Chains A and B, each alone.
Chain A
Amino acid sequence: MNVIDSYLDTLFAPYPDSARMREARSELGAMMEDKQQGLLDDGFTEPQAIGKVIAEFGSLEEVAPVLGISTELGGSSFAEAQEPSHVSPERAEEYVAAVRRSQWMPAVAVPMFVLSAVPLLLLFAATGSASPQPPPWATGTGLVLLLVMVGAAVMLLVARDAKLGDFSDLEEGDFDLSPPVRRFAKDLKRQNRRAVAIAVAIAIMLWILSAVPTILAGLAAEPEGTGTLYGVSLTLMMVALGLWVLLRQGWSDQAADNLLKESEDEDSPDWSTSPAIRAIAALYWPVIVAIYLAWSFIWGAWEISWVLWPVAGVLYAGLWSLNVAVGRHPEGTATGRSSA
């Protein structure tokens, strides 16, 4: 393959393959080849000739109308999926409004995953001190509530995806970013910068302070008692409250970043595009609760098992950072979305 061939390959790569495109590729290739030969005959060196041929090639956009690229765009769903589409400012506004309208769904659903264990913990705390084993009705009710909450949260997230289904091209960055849309998204971000900063600050403060109830309860509770569970419940509520504050305000950055094809604020594992990370994030807290309860009840280790919570918190932060570090181009869709 020579330089001219690879040059044409690069130029034609974004366009759907069709008979007309192949014909244009071959005829333009023949023109360049002839021209290169003509220049070589005139005494140019090979690099000079190639440079001149490419400089005098022109632009493929000029050829687009006669190639019917625009008709092929609307012609088949395959071409539609392959070709970046144009997004009008009106559609961008509709998208932002849709994200904003449905933002309560993830803002409620994600904290629900964290809170799902709280009824179980509270039931154990309320009944646990009476006997070494919690009564079966408490375990049963708690587990049912846990499953109901996880199920409701999953349904909310699925419903959210469905609501934004019409805008999947925007969410996946499959479009051409025009200057008016870029301006609109930047404005949206600027107007909400203060609110986002406040939400992030509140959330981080809540997460840092969330360790306090568990640690205090762990230190204060009698070794065999289940008093620590109140502290743990409070910790989970603070984590959930932080997530709610953060996610509620997350619509503006999420919408703007998708329009700008950036994802610097999608650092939360809960928003990650990687299904594996999403699954881990959703199951993380329920699994931690299960481990904590098993450890506490089966080995009767109440005096020490609360240590699990600070450890789990640090691990969660680690998972988050790992997602930021490696989750940059899941499924190859987010290449070029990197941020510093």
Chain B
Amino acid sequence: MIGADAIRGHIDLILLAILETRPSYAYELSKTITDRSRGEYVVKQTTLYTAVKRLQSHRLLDSYEDVSSSGKPRTYYKITPDGHDQLDAKRAEWRSTRALVDHFAEGQDTA
């Protein structure tokens, strides 16, 4: 199980990446995260809700009302053009972060 603290800084990237393919609603987002992490990471509902609302307030996401597959009215979120730009920036940031952490974590002094 992966700790919530390790993921917290990357939740924006995760959400934007999931929404890049298609719009979704809160529960579906949390289920997608759990499924794709094969149960390694379960996002708390308040963490997810807070992140979605923050992204929306930064105009990286848009919301609209629709009916879910189970036939219930749900708030759907879709990525905006600004959101796409942000996703690209976050991806680049993640690659350099990963490279940096790998550099130390693997203990190979290549300098």
Residues of A within 8 A of B (CB): 24, 27-28, 30-35, 37-38, 56-60, 62-63, 65-67
Contacts and interface: CB of A to CB of B under 8 A. Distances in A.
A58 B52 CA distance: 15
Contacts of A24: 49, 53
Contacts of A57: 44-46
User: At the interface, is chain A mostly helix, strand, loop or mixed?
Assistant: helix
B74 interface: yes
Interface of B: 25-28, 30-31, 42, 44-50, 53-54, 57, 68, 70, 72, 74-75
Given A57-B44, A63-B50, A63-B53, 15 more contacts: A27-B75, A31-B26, A31-B45, A31-B48, A32-B45, A34-B27, A34-B28, A34-B68, A37-B70, A56-B42, A58-B44, A58-B46, A62-B46, A62-B47, A63-B46
Contacts of A63: 46, 49-50, 53
A63 B57 CA distance: 13
A140 to B, nearest CB: 74
Given A37-B70, A38-B27, A31 B49 contact: yes
- Name the residue in A28, A31, A63 with the highest tally of chain B Cβ atoms < 10 Å from its Cβ: A31
Contacts of B30: 31, 35
Contacts, number: 64
A38 B27 CA distance: 9
B99 to A, nearest CB: 30
Nearest to B53: A66
A34 B70 contact: yes
A27 B28 CA distance: 13
Nearest to A26: B75
A62 B52 CA distance: 13
User: At the interface, is chain B mostly helix, strand, loop or mixed?
Assistant: helix
25 contacts: A27-B26, A28-B46, A28-B49, A30-B27, A30-B75, A31-B30, A31-B45, A31-B48, A31-B49, A32-B45, A34-B27, A34-B68, A34-B72, A35-B27, A35-B30, A38-B27, A57-B44, A57-B46, A58-B46, A59-B44, A59-B46, A62-B44, A62-B50, A63-B46, A63-B53
A233 to B, nearest CB: 69
A63 B27 CA distance: 16
A131 to B, nearest CB: 85
Contacts of B53: 24, 63, 66-67
Contact of A66 (B31, B54, B72): B54
A38 B68 CA distance: 13
B45 A65 contact: no
B47 A38 contact: no
- Name the residue in B31, B42, B50 with the highest tally of chain A Cβ atoms < 10 Å from its Cβ: B50
Given A31-B27, A66-B57, A56 B70 contact: no
B92 to A, nearest CB: 26
B21 to A, nearest CB: 20
Nearest to A37: B70
A38 B44 contact: no
A38 B31 contact: yes
A65 B50 contact: yes
Contacts of A58: 44-47
A32 B49 CA distance: 12
Contacts of B68: 34
